[in-house]
Chains A and B, each alone.
Chain A
C-alpha cells in the first residue's frame, strides 16, 4: 500500500497526509553553556521589559466560575474580590426571583483596568445548582459548558486562517462553595468535585465563615481536607503540576494549611478604628473582611489574583485544554472534531478496518 499506517497511536493521523518533510540541512547542536564569558553588558535582560510592555498592550482574559447552592454568598464574594458590582444579584435579591428548574449558566463579561493593565473578566454564575429536590447529575450542564469552551477554542485553533489572538473563554478557575455545616462535605459536593477536578481548576472555599468559631473552623477545614484526600480529589494547586522544589514547598503550605479558604464576603463599608473597611455589621461586632484574624478572604484574594492568576491560566491552557484536545482527537480517530455535517452524509467509518484504531 502507498500510504502506510502510522506507527504509533499517538502520532496524529495527519501525519499520514503530510508529505515527507524535507530533511533539515542542519540541526542545532546541544547548547554549549558559556556563562562566564560575557565580557560586558549586552542588554539581553531588557527582553523582560519588552515582554511586559507587549502583554500589557494586549490585555488579559480571565474567566472565573462560581458554583454552589443559592444563598451561600457567591455573588457577594465575587463583588468583594473585584471590588466592584460585578454581579448585580447581591444588591437586588428579592424573594420573587424564581429558583431555576435546571442549572443555568450565566456568563457576564466586564472590563476592569488597574495600573495600566486591562483585564477582561468574565464571571460565570450557576444559579440552580443543588437547589432542586433531586440533584442528580446537576453538574452535567456545568461540565458541558466547560467542555464547550474548550471546543470553541479548539475549533479556532484548528482553523487555517487563524485570528491573531484567539478569544479565550475557557474557565480558568472554579470556586466551589462549601456550606459551613461544621460536620463534613455533602455527597453533592464530593460528586461535583470528583467529576470536575479533572477538567477545571477547582478551588474549594468555605462560605459564610462567620458562622464558625476559630476552633470549629480549623476542625472543619481538617476534616474537609481529609475527605478530599480520601476521595482522591485534586483541587488547585494540584500536586502533580508542581514544577520545582520552590513551587512544591510553597504550594504544599497552601494546600495543607490554608485551603480550603474560609471566607466572608461583603461590599459594604464601615468605619473601624478610623479606617473605612469592608465588613459585616452585627450586634456583637463588625466582621472585617480583609482582616486575617477574622477570615481568610485576603488569603484567597492574594492567592487567586496576586500570585497565581497566571498559573491558573497556564494550567488550564497547558494541561486541561491539552487533555481535552488529545481526548477529542483520539476519539475521532485522529481527526479534529467534526460537527457531523459530513458525518450524516457519509456512512460512519466502520470500527474494525479503521486505519488508526488499535
Chain B
C-alpha cells in the first residue's frame, strides 16, 4: 500500500495549503435539531479524499456545457465563440433573409489535459432580421423549454438512466447587445424579460471597438439601469465562496462585458496576438485596456462554469418542473391546505381519467348497440316487404291459375258438347245420306227422265 501512503502524504500537504471553509450556520442549527453530535477524531481516517473521488468520477464521465447565443445576424456571435474556445467551429456566414428565427445547435468535444468537455453551441439564426419581430423570441423560449421537458421526461420515466443522460439544458445565454451607444432595443428588452426566469443571462456588448471608452461607460450605466428598472434578472456571479467572492463581486460591477472577437492574428511588438487591424490602430482582443474579453473568459469558463450548471439545474429547471407539474394539475397542497402528496393527486387524476375512459367505452358500446338495432329494424322492414311482395305475387298466380282452370273447364265442356253434337250430326248425316242417296237415285231417275 505504498501508493496509498504516498497519496496520504500528498493530501496532508495539499490540505495544509487549502483555505478554511465558509460558515454553515444553518447547517449546524439543523444538526442540533436532529440531535447529531460532532465528533473529533483521534487520527487520520482518510475521507478527505472524497471530493477527489467524486471529481475522478466526473472526469471519467466527462462534462457537459451548453451555451446559447442570442443576437442579431452579423453581430459577431460565431466569432466570439471561436475566440473564447480558441477553435474554428463554424464555417459559413448566415443569410439575412430567413423568414423565421431558427435555432441551430452543434455539439463539439473538446479536451484539455484530462478533462473532456461536451460543448454545445446554440445559435439563433435570423434573430432580428424580420420586418415584424413579434414572434422573434418565442422560438428561443420554446427551445429552452424543450430541453427542460426532455430532461423532465427522462426523470419521470420508470426505467431511467440519469447518470449517462446527455444534458442538453442551456447553462448560459450570451445575449449580444448592439453597440448603438444609446440604449437597449425593444426587442432586446422583451427577449431578455421572457428568458430571465429560464436561463442564466449574461449580456455582452458586441463589436465593442465601435464605441469609445467614455461612451462605453455611459452606455454600460444606461444599460444596467434599464435592465434594473425593467426587472430583468441577469446572472450575477456568486459571491458566497470566499475564494472567488472578491473577484466575482468586482466583475459584477463590470457587467455587461464589452467584447471584441477575432481569430486573426496580428503582430504587435514581437508577439502574434489575436487582434483586429484598422488603419488607425490595432484592437487587441486579450488586452484588458481594449475590451473585456479576458474578463468574460475568466468568468464564464475559469471561475463560474460549475456554478452556471448548478444554477440551471437547481433554480431554472426546478422552476420549470414545478410549473409544469402544477399545470398538469398536481399540487403539494390540497384544497383545505392540507399537505397533499403528488401521489394522491396522481391517483385521483388517474381514477378520473380511468372513469372517463369507462364512460367513453360505455358510450361507444351504446352507440354500437343502437346502430345494430337500427340496422336490424331496417333489415326486418325489408324482409317484411319482400314477404308481402311474395304473397301478392302468389295470389296473383293463384288467380290466374284459377282463371285458366275455368277456361280449361269451359273448353273441355265445349269439346264434350261439340263431340256430342258431332256424334248426333254424324248419325243424322248418315241417315240423310242414305235418304239423300235414295233421293239422289230418285233425282237421277227423275232427272234421267227429263
> Which chain A residues have a beta carbon within 8 Å of chain B's beta carbons?
1-3, 10-18, 21-35, 37-48, 50-57, 59-60, 62, 81-86, 109-120, 155, 158-162, 164, 243, 292, 298-299, 301-302, 305-311, 314, 318, 322, 325-326, 329-330, 333-339, 341-343, 346, 349, 353, 355
* Distance of B60 from chain A, by nearest CB (Å): 8
Complex alpha-carbon distance, A339 and B339, angstroms: 13
Given the known inter-chain contacts A26-B105, A42-B85, A339-B341, please indicate yes or no for A10 contacting B158, CB distance below 8 A. yes
Q: Are B350 and A13 in contact (CB under 8 A)?
A: yes
Complex alpha-carbon distance, A43 and B146, angstroms: 30
> Is B63's CB within 8 Å of the partner chain A?
yes
Residues of A close to B145: CB separation below 8 A? 22
Which among A18, A41, A51, A84 is the interface contact of B306 at CB below 8 angstroms? A51
Q: Are A33 and B115 in contact (CB under 8 A)?
A: no
Which among A23, A26, A39, A311 is the interface contact of B86 at CB below 8 angstroms? A39
> Is B271's CB within 8 Å of the partner chain A?
no
Residues of B close to A311: CB separation below 8 A? 53, 57
Q: Are A38 and B153 in contact (CB under 8 A)?
A: no
Contact residues of B between 289 and 310, Cβ < 8 Å to A: 297-298, 301-307, 310
Q: Are A335 and B350 in contact (CB under 8 A)?
A: yes
Residues of A close to B57: CB separation below 8 A? 310-311, 314
Complex alpha-carbon distance, A353 and B357, angstroms: 10
Which among A82, A116, A160 is the interface contact of B322 at CB below 8 angstroms? A160
Q: Are A109 and B36 in contact (CB under 8 A)?
A: yes
* Distance of A264 from chain B, by nearest CB (Å): 16
Q: Are A160 and B332 in contact (CB under 8 A)?
A: yes
* Distance of B71 from chain A, by nearest CB (Å): 17
> Is B185's CB within 8 Å of the partner chain A?
no
> Is B450's CB within 8 Å of the partner chain A?
no
> Is B92's CB within 8 Å of the partner chain A?
no
> Which chain B residues have a beta carbon within 8 Å of chain A's beta carbons?
1, 4, 7, 11, 15, 18, 20-22, 24, 27, 31, 34-60, 63, 84-89, 102-115, 117-118, 120, 122, 139, 142-143, 145-147, 149-150, 153, 156-160, 162-163, 166, 168, 241, 243, 297-298, 301-307, 310, 314, 318, 321-322, 325-326, 328, 330-332, 341-344, 346-351, 353-354, 357-358, 360-361
Given the known inter-chain contacts A82-B41, A301-B46, A339-B341, please indicate yes or no for A46 contacting B302, CB distance below 8 A. yes
Q: Are A52 and B357 in contact (CB under 8 A)?
A: no
Q: Are B18 and A116 in contact (CB under 8 A)?
A: yes
Q: Are B112 and A41 in contact (CB under 8 A)?
A: yes
Residues of B close to A23: CB separation below 8 A? 146
Residues of A close to B52: CB separation below 8 A? 52
A-B residue pair count with CB separations less than 8 angstroms:
316
* Selected A-B contacts with CB under 8 Å, 9 pairs: A1-B361, A10-B158, A42-B301, A57-B22, A83-B41, A83-B44, A305-B45, A329-B158, A355-B357
Q: Are B158 and A330 in contact (CB under 8 A)?
A: yes
Q: Are A44 and B48 in contact (CB under 8 A)?
A: no
Which among B49, B114, B159 is the interface contact of A326 at CB below 8 angstroms? B159
Residues of B close to A2: CB separation below 8 A? 360
Complex alpha-carbon distance, A88 and B168, angstroms: 49
* Distance of A51 from chain B, by nearest CB (Å): 5
Complex alpha-carbon distance, A158 and B35, angstroms: 27
* Distance of A339 from chain B, by nearest CB (Å): 7
Q: Are A114 and B48 in contact (CB under 8 A)?
A: yes
